[in-house]
Chains A and B, each alone.
Chain A
Amino acid sequence: MITVSALTKQYGQRIAVDDITFEVAAGRVTGFVGPNGAGKSTTMRMMVGLTRPDRGDVRYHGVSYTRLPHPARVVGSVLDARCMHPGRTARNHLRAAAALSKIPSRRVEDVLHEVGLDSAADQRAGGFSLGMRQRLALAGALLGEPEVLLLDEPSNGLDPDGIRWLRNSLIEFARRGGTVFVSSHLIAELAMFADDLVVVGGGKLLAAEPVATTLARGESTVVVRTPHTAELARLLNQHGIAADISGDRVCSHGTSTAFVSELVFEQRIQVVEITGTSRSLEEILLDLTGASAEFATTRISSNA
């Protein structure tokens, strides 16, 4: 388990990370999301001792990162896949890392095989594609067979097959008791495998909760086509559900398809069609973080 307590970091007048507290549970995949400039990378750097927090700390089973006897055997991290010397081969890159952490050199061959870089092991990293660099960085994180994986945008540069491999591997890693903390801008992708979410914006913690709870924030809509629109609308209002009538459709908010179906069945109201929609995780998170986005986009103008 990772415990982040009151983590704060200020650069001059700018507060990059403002009193963030959350826990990352073992056996689960925790997504770390937020807009650009939210403080995600700064937080992750503080979690592995690269940046010293002004206040607060990060502990792994009660021990701060810098006090872990063998950090690489507890925490495997990939914060920037470009962090490798272009003149060094993949094998030597990993050998140097393994030597530093007193990891047997045979692990180098194991992790190269696990990430699919066997055939490129003796190529210099300068000739690698971004996807290959990402795989090599992941191999470095796995050298110590850690309990925790901290990954910043790990799917950058990976092809669809690689993204699927990464997703399945992280799920399996968590299923077997490992702790996964992964930041990503690909919210739709994250929604497919994250169990929990930590959402930051403007340096502040906006939410730390299971994905199911976040999804429940999104108001669902049920649309019913019926010849008895007024009767259905009145019935829904009696149950505290807001309903709008538009032609032969009744649109209700904040309820579920199952509830409306049961209601019309009990009251024997004729229904032609019933459709439920809910907001995507991406839409919910964009609403949640929208006010704290540092770099807001606008529509690209056209000269046509």
Chain B
Amino acid sequence: MTSTTHSTPLGPTSPRPLPTPTPTGPPPTVPMTRDRDDDLAAVPAAVRSEWIKLRSLRSTPAILCLTIVIGVLLSWILATFVKTDPNTHEVFTVGQTFIFSTWLSTVLAIVMGTLLFTSEVHHGTLANAITSQPARWVIVAAKAMVGAGFGLVMGIAGMVAGFTGAMLGGLETGNTSGMTATALWGLLLTTLAPVFGLGVGMIIRHSAAAASTVLVWALVLENLIKSLAPPKLTRLMPFSAANGLLGIQSAGDTPATRAVALSRVHDALLFSGYSLAAIAVGTVLLYRRDTN
């Protein structure tokens, strides 16, 4: 379809007329329809669209800056004021503390993931996306990919910030043999976190409600459940898996919970399972619910 220019009909500030549609003719006798291959082929375009949406908002660099600030501050505070591990009474090292802020980065990444969807619901732009791309799973897949990519960036930024804060606090480097593995597991977590958040956002569909649900669960409910339920059950909860991936202990951890802790591989599979389940449920709801 080509656009035809016209002289402005209505004065110096009047906009130009609408473009010329395709010249009329008989409609196609065998109309083209989209199929699964068309939907798959549309994923890269959807990813590009979601990336434009993400990078065009001021909140995106703000979240990244917050991740960096938290990373530097938390590590520096631990290095300067806490100095020793309360469990082992050993002096903190950079190799231990650089990962601590990743837990907060993970929570931030989950909240960012919820906003990928709930923000669109709130501002009505989800309707625009669905009218352009009726295969709703394509939109979900694109959001998940972009969210995961940004979560990876947040993870890297948070760890570098944590490392920097620890160095600024004067900590010794310490045993770095496990740093690479811890960093990689941590990056896996921050990559999955927005996907988990996206699923939660698709289910709850309200920014404040989704974010507060995540925070209350992570900071309060899971620790409460840990104090009441058997360790073999509580180790299956999502933020227990997250802590396991990072190799850190939460406030609710006891010798009993530590004794039955899952391996990092199992924690990764568990958190991945939660993320995929949230996305799956959210996608089903997206298809079933009308979009206003």
Residues in A lying within 8 Å of B, measured CB to CB: 1, 26-27, 45, 48-52, 61-63, 65-69, 71-73, 75, 77, 79-80, 82-89, 92, 95-97, 99-102, 110, 113-117, 135, 140, 142, 145-147, 161, 164-165, 168-170, 172-173, 176-178
Contacts and interface: CB of A to CB of B under 8 A. Distances in A.
A159 to B, nearest CB: 11
A1 B27 contact: yes
Contacts of A142: 18-19
B108 interface: no
28 contacts: A26-B24, A50-B127, A50-B130, A63-B32, A65-B134, A66-B34, A66-B135, A67-B134, A68-B33, A69-B33, A69-B34, A71-B133, A80-B124, A84-B123, A84-B124, A85-B57, A87-B59, A88-B56, A96-B56, A100-B45, A100-B132, A113-B16, A142-B19, A145-B1, A161-B11, A173-B18, A177-B22, A178-B21
Nearest first, the 7 A-B pairs at minimum CB distance are A116-B15, A83-B124, A177-B24, A92-B56, A100-B49, A145-B1, A178-B21
B291 A51 contact: yes
A100 B123 contact: no
B25 to A, nearest CB: 8
Given A82-B124, A85-B119, A101 B27 contact: no
B48 interface: yes
Contact of B17 (A65, A67, A169): A169
A63 B42 CA distance: 19
B32 A69 contact: yes
Contacts of B33: 63, 67-69
A169 B18 contact: yes
Interface of B: 1-3, 9-11, 13-24, 27-28, 31-34, 38, 42, 45-46, 48-50, 52-53, 56-59, 119-120, 123-125, 127-135, 290-292
Contact of A110 (B3, B52, B59): B3
A69 B133 CA distance: 9
A85 B58 CA distance: 12
A50 B292 contact: yes
A176 B56 contact: no
A290 to B, nearest CB: 28
B21 A85 contact: no
B139 to A, nearest CB: 8
Contacts of B48: 99-100
Which of A100, A176, A177 lies at the interface centre, i.e. has the most chain B CB atoms within 10 A of its CB? Answer: A100
Which of A49, A83, A92, A146 is the most central at the interface, judged by chain B CB atoms within 10 Å of its CB?
Answer: A83
Nearest to A96: B52
A50 B290 contact: yes
B34 A86 contact: no
A259 to B, nearest CB: 38
A89 B57 CA distance: 9
Contacts of A27: 24
Given A85-B119, A114-B19, A147-B21, A161 B14 contact: yes
B113 to A, nearest CB: 17
Given A85-B119, A96-B49, A145-B1, A49 B131 contact: yes
Given A69-B32, A100-B45, A100-B129, A176 B10 contact: no
Contacts of A147: 21-22
A223 to B, nearest CB: 39
Contacts of A135: 15
Given A85-B123, A172-B18, A52 B134 contact: no
A209 B270 CA distance: 61
Contacts of B129: 100
B290 A168 contact: no
B127 A80 contact: yes
Contacts of A52: 290
Contacts of A169: 17-18
Given A50-B131, A96-B49, A168-B10, 17 more contacts: A27-B24, A50-B127, A71-B134, A72-B131, A79-B127, A80-B124, A87-B58, A92-B56, A95-B52, A95-B56, A101-B132, A114-B17, A161-B13, A164-B10, A165-B9, A173-B21, A177-B21
A96 B50 CA distance: 7
Most chain A beta-carbon contacts within 10 A, residue among B18, B19, B292: B18
A112 to B, nearest CB: 9
A170 B131 contact: no
Nearest to A143: B132
Contacts of B11: 161
Contacts of A45: 290-292
Given A26-B24, A88-B57, A169-B17, A67 B34 contact: yes
